[in-house]
Structure 1
Amino acid sequence: MTDRITTSFSAGSTAAEVIEGIDLTGRRVVVTGGASGIGVETARALAGAGAEVTLAVRDVGAGDRVAADLTAATGSKQILVAPLDLADQASVAAFVAGWDGPLDILVNNAGVMASPLARTPEGWEMQFATNHLGHFALAVGLHDALASAGRARVVSVSSSAHHRSPVVFDDIHFERRPYDPFSAYGQSKTANVLFAVEASKRWATDGITVNALMPGGIRTNLQRYVPDEVLEQMRTAAGGGGLKWKTPEQGAATSVLVATAPLLDGVGGRYFEDCNEAEVGVLTARNGVAPFALDPEAAARLWEVSVQTLAG
């Protein structure tokens, strides 16, 4: 096993602290879900460091409001907004077709959590379709833009919820097994890690690195489908030791670290939490990465299944 990467930052660190002293002038960034939750704070930190930041969002009106707020706060005139619905492959294709020039950093941040059973027109389970397949199609579609940037990074926002489920290849879309919102969410978050493993392997020669991360527990619109009593149970889960919620600024810190830290130059296929690389197999309520999420055979299989699924 390669040495685990550690930093001077921790669960309490903020995105602003992590990016301090880093100059992103001339760099181009896309943040999916950049109009809410930790997406806003991720975009704020990257824009504040001088990057051109495109908020890729379902609600363009909300995106425009956030862009105006971020422009006022950072002074950046390079905060753009573009429509993107990750559950709609035509929307993903349109975003890719509309992108011109190199792309230095892609933050796959958007997501849906523990939603009631819903399917895309193709019949795909909505959480897997949004959290994995949409981001997979986006990253693959933007591959050439990433490659042309040189030393590009892709950030795959996962979750400790991946502990709940590997990718169940025999029935990914819950066509035969009973649907469970958290199992479906967990499976999609495992897919986010497996994507990082395989993409780093495939794209290393293009100078593209991909890492996954757990942002921490943050109260945002992501939990809109989760009842308050369930959230409280999660907060006080066995072994959790009375876990505290992070602020959005703290929640964005690990994404920003993975996107920008010089320490991660050339490093890919890993999973981070609280601004440090997670321990493999040492699992608590919010910490650690399950071995199945880093399994290279599962990662390779998921890539092939994803390609086949999107090809119809």
Structure 2
Amino acid sequence: MSLITTPFDRHSTAADVITDIDLTHRRAIVTGASSGISVETARALVSAGADVTLAVRSLEAGVRVANDLIATTGNARVRVAHLDLSEPASVAAFVSAWTGPLHLLINNAGIMATPEQHTPQGWELQFATNHLGHFALATGLHRALVAASGARIVSLSSAGHTRSPVVFGDIHFHHRPYDPFLAYGQSKTANVLFAVEASRRWAEQGITANAVMPGAVRTEGVANLNLTATQIAHAQATRSSGPETFWKTPAQGAATSILVATSPLLSGVGGRYFEDSQEAGPHVPGTMRGVAGYALDPAQAERLWEVSETLLARATSPSD
């Protein structure tokens, strides 16, 4: 199976990718759309005529973004809804409030390299937020995605996925020493595995899912790390045989998501991993490029799906 290539590259912006694409009458959800890449992802979708819901933890921040998008694009079809991916009840409330079809689900929200924290359910916070919350959202909106007849899901991963597979024996770091970057990498591997299994299960219903690596972007999340941007760039450069890390603007970081969500080149394509607006090849050890084989492993993807269903079922079942 040959890799998908496009006319775009790491310098392309979301606006470049979405040129000449009309999303009128298409409905989209962008999670975490209050800053950084997600705002530019939403901006591109709104500019192409889509009806976009910004799913955010802070309604105040979401309203500010919505007002900006409306003012800069002229499209008033922008909504704001509360969503905290680390809280199953919040995800359930969001899902229950949704009506009608959903054409595009952009699972952008996430946290990175946080200090060790666990949710009330005992879940490691990065895995809970980056994977389980989005898993619950996508499965909860399954009927809406089916109703769209050709829905696409974009699952934001990271080159950090090459740091760790999903460690099924101790996903939540109950027994092994906690490492914030290993926990982050595990959650980003889960994002790819989700795309693999969602496409396998749902392709016949017209739903495809792909994972993307946006690139190194100086977002608020990166700025809030204990590491400085210079230290992060050094860490990435030391793992790469190529030149110094290429830092993208948020608009460039959003380009691959927009490509996967809207390009005719990806019609019917699912279960793949993209970076710099191209399908990525296998990961080469010692670099930060490409996709790890374990992240595309169908057996691991099916196992993660089943584990995720079990965890969520326990979380939402009445207590004894």
Same fold per superposition (TM over 0.5): yes
Query: What's the offset of the Cα at 1:226?
Result: 3.8
Residues 213-263 of structure 1 show CA distances to partners (whole Å, capped at 9, x for unaligned) of 100000001221241153232353242411120000000000000000001
Shift of 1:283: 4.8
**Which residue of structure 1 lines up, in the alignment, with residue 145 of structure 2?**
146
Larger mean CA deviation between 106-115 and 234-243 belongs to 234-243
Distance 1:121 1:296, change over 3 A: same
Of 186-195 and 214-223, deviating more is 214-223
1:115 aligns with 2:114: yes
Deviation, structure 1 residue 282: 2.9
Alignment correspondent of 2:195: 196
Match of 1:258 among 257, 260, 275: 260
CA distance in 1: counterparts of 2:165 and 2:77, whole angstroms: 39
C-alpha contact 2:283 2:289 (8 A) present in aligned 1: no
What TM-score results when the alignment is normalised by the length of structure 2?
Answer: 0.96
Per-residue CA shift, 1:14-42, capped at 9, x if unaligned? 00000000000000000001111100000
SS at the partner of 2:265?
helix
Q: Compare 179-188 and 217-226 and name the one that shifted more.
A: 217-226
- Unmatched tracts of structure 1, length 5 or more: none
SS in 1 for 2:238: coil
Hey, what's the Cα distance between the residues in 1 that align with 2:40 and 2:238? 27
Which residue number in structure 2 is paired with residue 97 of structure 1? Answer: 96
Contact 1:38 1:252 in 2 (8 A): yes
Q: CA deviation at 1:3?
A: 1.0
Q: Which moved more, 1:281-290 or 1:19-28?
A: 281-290
SS of 2:81's equivalent? strand
Counterpart of 2:172 in structure 1: which amino acid?
A: H
Tell me the equivalent position of 1:227.
227
What's the CA shift string for 1:246-297, capped at 9, x where partnerless? 0000000000000000010000000000000000233554310000000000
Alignment of 1:18-57 (within 5 A): 18-57=17-56
Cα distance, 1:108 vs structure 2 = 0.2
Output the CA distance in 2 between the equivalents of 1:123 and 1:220.
Answer: 28
Q: Which residue in 2 is equivalent to 1:15? A: 14
Task: State the secondary structure of the residue aligned to 1:272.
Answer: strand
- Give the share of equivalent positions with the same residue, in percent: 63
CA distance in 1 between partners of 2:177 and 2:242 (Å): 28
CA contact (8 A) 2:153 2:261 kept: yes
Q: Distance in 2 between matches of 1:234 and 1:31?
A: 30
Separation in 2 of the partners of 1:16 and 1:286? 26
How many residues are treated as equivalent by the alignment? 311
Do the aligned partners of 2:216 and 2:248 also contact (CA within 8 Å) in 1? yes
Secondary structure of 1:80's counterpart equals strand
User: In 1, distance between residues paired with 2:188 and 2:196?
Assistant: 13
Between 229-238 and 187-196, report the one with greater CA deviation: 229-238
Q: Deviations over 1:70-126 (max 9, x none)?
A: 100000110110000000000000000000000000000000000000111101000
Give 5+ residue unaligned stretches, structure 2: 315-320
Is residue 270 of structure 2 the alignment partner of residue 268 of structure 1?
yes
Alpha-carbon contact 1:280-1:288 (below 8 Å) kept: yes
* Map of 1:296 onto structure 2: 298
User: Do 2:26 and 2:50's aligned partners in 1 also have CA atoms closer than 8 Å?
Assistant: yes
Cα-Cα RMSD:
1.0
The equivalent residue for 1:247 is: 249
Rounded to whole Å, the distance in 2 between the matches of 1:214 and 1:295 is 18
Give runs of ≥4 in structure 1 deviating > 6 Å.
none
Please give the TM-score of this superposition, normalised by the length of structure 1: 0.98
State the secondary structure of the residue aligned to 1:155. Answer: strand
